[in-house]
Amino acid sequence: MAILVPYDGSTPAHQAVRHAAETYPDAELVLLRVIELAEGYTSAGFNLLREQFDEAEAAPDVSTELRSLLDESGVEFRVETAVGSPAREIVDFAAENDIDHIIIGSHGRQGVSRVLLGSVAEKVVRRAPIPVTVVR
């Protein structure tokens, strides 16, 4: 079984990884980092983006604590990186890579903040063709 866990270094993302490792110890965890392009991004900034992407590929952003948890649990994991809109990239990656389940952290925004900023987790839940677990 392959479990996709979107990972941005935040506390909710850590909680999602921890939940995935504890709930599915025999699964392969795929930690997906999405580099989001700013609105109005043009080709003029492509070289800067390429550098960011290369750095992300060279040094996956998995904290020492999290790596220790995963190593101790014996869960197989790998880190992947995508560029684009987070919700779209998460759903597309799952569909294109035979992912069985998505476990995503939620920042727990409410009210106006949620309406204005949207929720990646909510968009993933609505768009994903596979089961999604939201961890708070």
**Rounded-to-integer distance, Cα 102 and Cα 14, Å:** 14
Domain boundaries, given as residue ranges, for the chain = 2-135
Amino acid at 131: P
Strand partners, 4: 30, 102
The Cα angle at residue 112 between residues 110 and 115, in degrees rounded to 5: 85
Cross-strand bridge partners of residue 6: 32
Say what the pTM is: 0.81
Sheet containing strand 101-105, strands side by side = 76-83, 28-35, 2-6, 101-105, 132-135
Q: Each residue's pLDDT tens digit in the chain (136 positions)?
A: 999 999 988 889 999 999 999 999 999 999 999 988 766 555 555 566 666 666 555 444 567 777 888 888 899 999 999 999 999 999 999 999 999 999 999 876 666 555 544 589 999 999 999 999 999 8
Q: Per the structure block, which two tokens stand in for 86?
A: 């987070």
pLDDT of residue 59: 45
* Token output for 135: 């961890």
Q: Which CATH superfamily is domain 2-135 in?
A: HUPs (3.40.50.620)
